């Protein structure tokens, strides 16, 4: 069901073959990169794929899962594989914004203040347990995520590219935490829910990690510069008007489910923002890129749709009372909105 006025104007026919060739060329590193990460991480293919989507689109990722699911290890391995500068920040209640972005230090030799950049100046930031830091630290991080620059004293410093924040939060132990406001959660492109590994994977983890001394050598597969170049190829991935309309329909269905005859209206307090539309398209392109495809198909949208929309659909008290989760609602929407 297309809303009137949302169809894009007719564009000149794209050279899909050229795009396909470009994507195949630029995406050759993907399999090698996934292979390197798989040397360390058992399973969690969806998480690794979403992390790559985040890197390829510049979209930040919020990971939610109980401790011990290799969230930190996965991010560290990814950073090693692309030889990017990696910083891990353990968010605690006494953390200050300066601990994150840096501060001005007085130099006694020359009697001047010089900036000391904080750990945020890295390619990959792992903000561990982001909900344990107070709101002002969260704001400082999220502002940097949005602006991709940091101001220390009166000097503004651009952040390195690629710049990606991977934040984790623990769904349990909510005491003494500062839950992220919806407006700040919305800045994360993807919210991943990490689940336990399967029995076979658990056995494999035991085999690999059973020794007290582990020696994993992850080879560098790609440079940060190549990642930036790959991003341009991702941007070039063709997305048809029918897919664009499908994305708009999905986002509108979160706001006006009744128009799409989806019986979840009483469960939704607020639907997804236009940022969801943007991120759905970008993530779908990156997903197609990971599949070495130069065009988006509906399956790309469906695959990443839940991770893009689950934290953007705010449910009502009625939904909470009936133990309906955002995942339930989003899945229902994907099942009901007609695929082009």
- Regarding 335 and contact with other proteins (CB under 8 A), the answer is yes
Question: Whole-number minimum distance, CB 10 to other proteins, in Å?
Answer: 13
From 37-45, 155-163, 219-227, 291-299, span contacting other proteins (CB under 8 A) = 291-299
CA 6 from centre of chain: 27
Residue from 46, 185, 236, 339 in contact with other proteins (CB under 8 A): 339
Tell me how far apart the alpha carbons of residues 286 and 234 are, in angstroms, rounded to a whole number: 6
Tell me how far apart the alpha carbons of residues 185 and 330 are, in angstroms, rounded to a whole number: 17
Residue 116 pairs in a beta bridge with: 103
Residue from 207, 215, 323, 338 in contact with other proteins (CB under 8 A): 338
Q: Which is nearer to other proteins, 89 or 337 (CB)?
A: 337
CA angle 319, 244, 44 (to 5 degrees): 60
| SS3 at position 115 | strand
- Regarding 336 and contact with other proteins (CB under 8 A), the answer is yes
Q: Which is nearer to other proteins, 23 or 230 (CB)?
A: 23
Residue from 54, 58, 294, 305 in contact with other proteins (CB under 8 A): 294
Question: Whole-number minimum distance, CB 63 to other proteins, in Å?
Answer: 25
Neighbours of 240 (CB within 10 A): 16
- Regarding 13 and contact with other proteins (CB under 8 A), the answer is yes
Tell me how far apart the alpha carbons of residues 231 and 145 are, in angstroms, rounded to a whole number: 17
Residue from 25, 173, 265, 299 in contact with other proteins (CB under 8 A): 299
- Regarding 16 and contact with other proteins (CB under 8 A), the answer is yes
Contact string 236-255 vs other proteins (x = CB under 8 A): --x-x-xx------------
Q: Write the burial class of residue 309 (CB in 10 Å: 0-12 exposed, 13-18 middle, 19+ buried).
A: buried
Question: Whole-number minimum distance, CB 65 to other proteins, in Å?
Answer: 24
Alpha helices, DSSP H, located in the chain: 16-26, 28-40, 45-57, 71-81, 97-101, 135-147, 182-185, 199-209, 224-236, 241-255, 274-290, 298-309, 317-321, 326-336
Residues lying near other proteins in the complex (CB under 8 A) are found at: 13-14, 16, 20, 238, 240, 242-243, 293-299, 302-303, 335-336, 338-340
């Amino acid at each position: 069901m297309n809303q009137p006025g949302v169809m894009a104007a007719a564009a000149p026919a794209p050279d899909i073959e050229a795009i396909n060739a470009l994507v195949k060329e630029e995406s050759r590193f993907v399999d090698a990169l996934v292979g390197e990460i798989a040397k360390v991480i058992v399973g969690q293919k969806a998480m690794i794929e979403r992390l790559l989507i985040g890197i390829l689109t510049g979209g930040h990722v919020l990971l939610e899962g109980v401790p011990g699911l290799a969230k930190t290890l996965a991010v560290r391995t990814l950073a090693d594989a692309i030889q990017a500068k990696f910083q891990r920040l353990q968010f605690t209640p006494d953390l200050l914004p300066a601990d994150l972005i840096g501060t001005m230090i007085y130099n006694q030799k020359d009697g001047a203040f010089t900036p000391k950049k904080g750990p945020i100046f890295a390619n990959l930031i792992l903000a561990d347990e982001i909900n344990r830091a107070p709101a002002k630290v969260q704001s400082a991080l999220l502002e940097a995520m949005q602006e991709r620059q940091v101001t220390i004293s009166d000097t503004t410093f651009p952040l390195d590219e690629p710049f990606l924040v991977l934040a984790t939060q623990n769904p349990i132990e909510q005491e003494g935490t500062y839950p992220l406001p919806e407006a700040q959660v919305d800045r994360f492109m993807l919210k991943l829910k990490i689940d336990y590994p399967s029995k076979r994977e658990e056995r494999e983890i035991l085999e690999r990690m059973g020794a007290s001394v582990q020696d994993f050598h992850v080879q560098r597969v790609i440079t940060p510069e190549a990642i930036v170049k790959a991003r341009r190829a991702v941007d070039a991935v063709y997305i048809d008007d029918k897919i664009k309309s499908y994305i708009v329909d999905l986002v509108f269905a979160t706001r006006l489910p009744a128009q799409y005859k989806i019986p979840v209206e009483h469960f939704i307090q607020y639907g997804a923002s236009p940022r969801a539309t943007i991120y759905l398209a970008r993530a779908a392109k990156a997903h197609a890129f990971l599949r070495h495809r130069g065009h988006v198909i509906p399956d790309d949208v469906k695959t990443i749709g839940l991770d893009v929309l689950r934290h953007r659909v705010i449910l009502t008290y009625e939904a909470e009372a009936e133990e309906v989760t955002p995942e339930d609602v989003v899945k229902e929407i994907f099942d009901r909105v007609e695929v082009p």
